[in-house]
């Protein structure tokens, strides 16, 4: 098995045939010029120590040096190296409100899109924590089980919309209870739920659900999206607002952020509430909270990676370059004495 890091350097090997053609042209020109001024017999007499073999040998050695240098630049990885990866972190479940009230545009572009961007920004700064995602309105449904695959998390995150659930409302208790089932590790010391919502709860069970979560050792951090002034819920067709949601009396519904219930949920689990409208403030808050938590080693896996092998190639290229530098085109006396090819026979 092997792997090449930088295939683009393979084009440098074109230097070799170009150099060979140039060398052949120069050699032909040199011989032709010599015949114009010297008789071949006289030339052999005047340069009797000139080797006919070494110029070709020097070309071969120089070509080998260039070849090894190019291979070294390509950084081939040959063989394998066994490594152990240990990951420490916290299990985090993102519970995201997808009820119709999240379409309100009191924060740009609307509450739901703001929530999705907020979660995406949090994922960007996580390192080794495991994540899960659920969506909820009048009921909660799982989207992504606990995993370390942040790319998958972002993919499922972008698919969230207010049409996912036919029953509308904001059942915070259902979201909390379902999030609690994501933590399957009994030894996990830090179990965290990041609950993102406008807090418009249509049930009275949120506090009880928070108490059940606290009994399981789960800490809930709530993030309020929207404003307390509120905004109407637009009804759009093809991106164009046709009207606004109305109540049974025909009045336009104004949905407002309910900060108090979100604060109560966080307080019941020894968590904290944070305004979710400012992304940077949320990121700083999350970073501070996670740093303060004890990390648990929840995964230790071994994987095989390729080992860099460019070093011997570069050393070989340097050796051949130095060897070529000290290899002269004259005959070597001790080799000449060996008379390997019967040159001295008369």
User: pLDDT by residue (tens digit) across 51-101?
Assistant: 666 777 888 888 898 898 888 888 887 766 666 667 778 889 999 999 888
Instruction: State the chain's mean pLDDT as an integer.
Output: 82
User: Residue 346 has what pLDDT?
Assistant: 45
Whether 164 is in a domain gets the answer: yes
Range of the domain at 277: 91-294
Confidence of residue 33 (pLDDT cuts 50, 70, 90): confident
User: Residue 81 has what pLDDT?
Assistant: 62
User: Residue 328 has what pLDDT?
Assistant: 66
* pLDDT tens digits, one per residue of 172-201: 888 899 988 888 766 566 889 999 999 886
Q: How far is residue 149's CA from residue 154's CA, in Å, rounded to a whole number?
A: 9
Whether 302 is in a domain gets the answer: no
Question: Is 317 found in the same domain as 179?
Answer: no
* pLDDT tens digits, one per residue of 263-317: 999 999 999 999 999 999 999 999 999 888 877 776 656 656 677 777 888 888 8
Whether 285 is in a domain gets the answer: yes
Question: Is 109 found in the same domain as 13?
Answer: no
CATH number at residue 196: 3.40.50.410
Question: Is 160 found in the same domain as 283?
Answer: yes
Give the lowest-confidence range in 28-42, 132-146, 195-209, 263-277.
28-42
Question: Is 120 found in the same domain as 42?
Answer: no
Question: Is 172 found in the same domain as 72?
Answer: no
Question: Is 271 found in the same domain as 323?
Answer: no
Q: How far is residue 97's CA from residue 167's CA, in Å, rounded to a whole number?
A: 13
User: Residue 302 has what pLDDT?
Assistant: 60
Q: Which residues contact 11 (CB under 8 A, 6 or more apart)?
A: none
Whether 253 is in a domain gets the answer: yes
Higher pLDDT, 205 or 143: 143
Higher pLDDT, 295 or 18: 18
User: Residue 45 has what pLDDT?
Assistant: 58
Question: Is 10 found in the same domain as 68?
Answer: yes
* pLDDT tens digits, one per residue of 323-342: 888 776 665 554 555 554 44
pLDDT at 49 over 70: no
User: Residue 341 has what pLDDT?
Assistant: 45
Whether 300 is in a domain gets the answer: no
Question: Is 274 found in the same domain as 204?
Answer: yes
Question: Is 143 found in the same domain as 10?
Answer: no
Question: In three state form, how does the secondary structure of the chain look?
Answer: CEEECCHHHHHHHHHHHHHHHHHHHHHHHHHHHHHHHCCHHHHHHHCCCECCCHHHHHHHHHHHHHHHHHHHHHCEEEEEEEEEEEEEECEEEEEEECCHHHHCCCCCCCHHHHHHHHHHHHHHHCCCCEEEEEEECCCEEEEEEEECCHHHHHHHHHCCCCCCCCCCCCCHHHHHHHHHCCCCCCCCCCEEEEEEECCCCCCCCHHHHHHHHHHCCEEEEEEECCCCCCEECEEEECCEEEEECECCCCCECEECCCHHHHHHHHHHCCCCEEECCCHHHHHHHHHHHHHCCCCEEEEEEEEEEEEECHHHHHHHHHHHHHHHHCCCCECCHHHHHHCCCCCCCC
Mean pLDDT of the region 30-41: 70
Q: How far is residue 286's CA from residue 302's CA, in Å, rounded to a whole number?
A: 30
pLDDT at 344 over 90: no
Q: How many domains does the chain have?
A: 2
Whether 333 is in a domain gets the answer: yes
Question: Is 262 found in the same domain as 117?
Answer: yes
Whether 37 is in a domain gets the answer: yes
Question: Is 110 found in the same domain as 28?
Answer: no
Q: How far is residue 254's CA from residue 272's CA, in Å, rounded to a whole number?
A: 27
User: Residue 326 has what pLDDT?
Assistant: 77
Higher pLDDT, 150 or 186: 150
Q: How far is residue 146's CA from residue 61's CA, in Å, rounded to a whole number?
A: 58
Whether 22 is in a domain gets the answer: yes
Question: Is 193 found in the same domain as 109?
Answer: yes
């Amino acid at each position: 098995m092997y792997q090449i890091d930088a295939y683009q350097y393979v084009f440098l090997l074109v230097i070799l045939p170009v150099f060979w053609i140039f060398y052949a042209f120069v050699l032909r020109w040199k011989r032709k010029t010599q015949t114009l001024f010297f008789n071949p017999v006289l030339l052999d007499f005047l340069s009797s120590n000139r080797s006919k073999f070494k110029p070709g040998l020097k070309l071969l050695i120089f070509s080998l040096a260039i070849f090894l240098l190019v291979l070294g630049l390509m950084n081939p990885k040959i063989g394998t190296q066994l490594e152990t990866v240990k990951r420490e972190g916290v299990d985090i479940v993102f519970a995201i409100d997808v009820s119709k009230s999240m379409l309100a545009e009191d924060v740009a572009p609307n509450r739901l899109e703001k929530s999705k961007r907020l979660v995406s920004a949090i994922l960007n700064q996580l390192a080794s924590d495991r994540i899960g995602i659920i969506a909820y309105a009048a009921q909660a449904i799982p989207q992504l089980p606990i995993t370390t695959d942040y790319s998958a998390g972002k993919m499922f995150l972008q698919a969230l919309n207010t049409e996912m659930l036919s029953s509308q409302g904001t059942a915070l208790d259902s979201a909390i209870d379902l999030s609690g089932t994501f933590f399957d590790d009994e030894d996990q010391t830090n179990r965290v739920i990041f609950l993102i919502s406008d807090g418009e709860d249509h049930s009275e069970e949120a506090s009880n659900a928070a108490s059940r979560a606290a009994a399981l050792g789960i800490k809930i951090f709530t993030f309020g999206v929207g404003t307390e002034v509120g905004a109407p819920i637009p009804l759009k067709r093809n991106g164009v607002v046709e009207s606004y949601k109305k109540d049974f009396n025909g009045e336009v519904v104004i949905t407002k952020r309910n900060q108090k219930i979100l604060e109560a949920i966080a307080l019941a689990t020894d968590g904290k509430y944070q305004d979710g409208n400012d992304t940077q403030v949320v990121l700083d808050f999350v970073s501070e909270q996670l740093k303060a938590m004890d990390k648990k080693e929840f995964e230790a896996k071994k994987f095989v990676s390729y080992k860099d092998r460019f070093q011997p190639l570069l050393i070989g290229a340097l050796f051949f370059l130095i060897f070529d530098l000290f290899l002269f085109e004259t005959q070597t006396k001790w080799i000449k004495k060996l008379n390997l090819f019967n040159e001295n026979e008369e």
